[in-house]
Amino acid sequence: MFSTLYAVNIAVSNASLHLVTVPFHQVVRATTPIFTMMLSMLLYNTGYSREKLYSLMPVILGVVLATYGDYYFTAWGLCLTLVGTVLASLKTVFTNVLQSSPKPDSRPLSVTPKMPQPVALQYKRPRDEPIGWQDLSLVTSYIRTLLPPRLDLHPLDLLTRMSPLAFVQCLMYAYMSGELGRIGTSMWWFGVSNHGADLVQNGKHQMDLVQVLILLFNGCIAFGLNVVSFSANGKVGALSMTVAANVKQVLTILFAVSLFDLTITPTNALGISATLIGGAWYAWVEYNTKRRAQKGNS
């Protein structure tokens, strides 16, 4: 299930980029910390302080200003972008859960969790009565029985279990969408050409050795990114990872300015400053929170 979530998240995110502009995509993705907090509170009863909530505001607003530009989207593109944002938040939360240690009062994995039977089940709601918190609590209780357990997995162990399944699923998505045909399906059937240009064999384009090496190099970078991302997620938490992702966006803009002579407007500069300051503020709040928790335990 986790591999399916991981693969679908990538597919939805890439599909949405065809229907919206990059600035709009970045703005919607900047709200990932909000969805991460909502999912953590709904699924795992995670609490957040007011200081932490306030520190998120300049981070999100800063990304909006830093990516201010050509905003264009279709209704379907907006829906896909929002769904991709929710899936990214859910993936980040579950990545942290699977790498967390089980709680002392948690049941063994061999025991099937039973649905709680609250008093609300004995109450039959009339048809004309609106849905109340009792009904929502029942739905939440049922959803929590389907959540992944805390397995305390090592990042490489989690990747070993997830990657082969996600690889097969991504190949299926690429085949169904026609992507394999566009990049050269004959690579899989006729082998790899060592010429410097694309060849045509049996009506299909064949990839050359340089293109294959580029794909392999890209795969190595993606592997390193996942190892670092999973390791950091297990140490700092899901919300901190989403905040770091927003800071990453403005750092990408700064690198683009220095490498490609990209011109930024005063609004973009204000957004970059706000995101960096907000990220530092959040890190300071998180540090003080953990420091107070350690003092309380001691």
Asked if 33 and 170 sit in the same domain, the reply is yes
Q: What whole-number distance in Å separates Cα of residue 291 and Cα of residue 233?
A: 19
Q: How far is CA 157 from the centre of its chain?
A: 19
Determine the structural domain holding residue 27 and report its residue range. 2-106+149-184+224-297
Asked if 156 and 136 sit in the same domain, the reply is no
Question: Any idea what the Cα angle at residue 84 is, between residues 79 and 86, rounded to 5°?
Answer: 95
Reported as a single tens digit per residue, the pLDDT across 204-254 is 455 678 888 898 999 999 999 999 999 999 888 888 898 988 888 888 877
Question: In this structure, is residue 192 part of a structural domain?
Answer: no
Q: Does residue 64 have a pLDDT over 60? A: yes
Asked if 154 and 281 sit in the same domain, the reply is yes
- What would you report as the CA-atom Rg of the chain, rounded to the nearest whole angstrom? 23
H/E element, 201: strand 199-201
Asked if 11 and 130 sit in the same domain, the reply is no
Q: Which of 148, 171, 198 is the last residue of a domain?
A: 148
Asked if 30 and 116 sit in the same domain, the reply is no
List the one residue out of 216, 215, 198 whose CA is nearest residue 207: 198
CB 268 within 8 A of CB 65: yes
DSSP conformation class of 73: B
Question: In this structure, is residue 210 part of a structural domain?
Answer: no
- Region 140-168 average pLDDT: 85
Q: What whole-number distance in Å separates Cα of residue 141 and Cα of residue 219?
A: 40
Give the total number of structural domains in the chain. 2
Asked if 119 and 142 sit in the same domain, the reply is yes
Question: In this structure, is residue 200 part of a structural domain?
Answer: no
pTM for this one? 0.72
Question: In this structure, is residue 22 part of a structural domain?
Answer: yes
H/E element, 200: strand 199-201
Tell me which amino acid residue 81 is: T
Asked if 266 and 141 sit in the same domain, the reply is no
DSSP conformation class of 48: -
Asked if 237 and 267 sit in the same domain, the reply is yes
Question: In this structure, is residue 281 part of a structural domain?
Answer: yes
Asked if 14 and 71 sit in the same domain, the reply is yes
Cβ–Cβ contacts within 10 Å for residue 138, how many?
15
Q: What whole-number distance in Å separates Cα of residue 153 and Cα of residue 145?
A: 20
Question: In this structure, is residue 206 part of a structural domain?
Answer: no
Asked if 283 and 239 sit in the same domain, the reply is yes
Question: In this structure, is residue 204 part of a structural domain?
Answer: no
Helix axes 32-44 and 238-260, enclosed angle (nearest 10):
170
Asked if 119 and 256 sit in the same domain, the reply is no
Q: Which of 94, 123, 148 is the last residue of a domain?
A: 148
Measured in Å, how far apart are the chain's first and last C-alpha atoms?
39
Question: So what's the pLDDT on residue 91?
Answer: 92
Reported as a single tens digit per residue, the pLDDT across 163-205 is 999 999 988 888 888 877 776 544 544 444 444 444 444 444 5
Question: In this structure, is residue 280 part of a structural domain?
Answer: yes
Asked if 99 and 133 sit in the same domain, the reply is no
Q: Which of 148, 173, 206 is the last residue of a domain?
A: 148
Reported as a single tens digit per residue, the pLDDT across 91-138 is 999 999 999 888 765 444 444 444 444 444 444 444 444 444 445 566
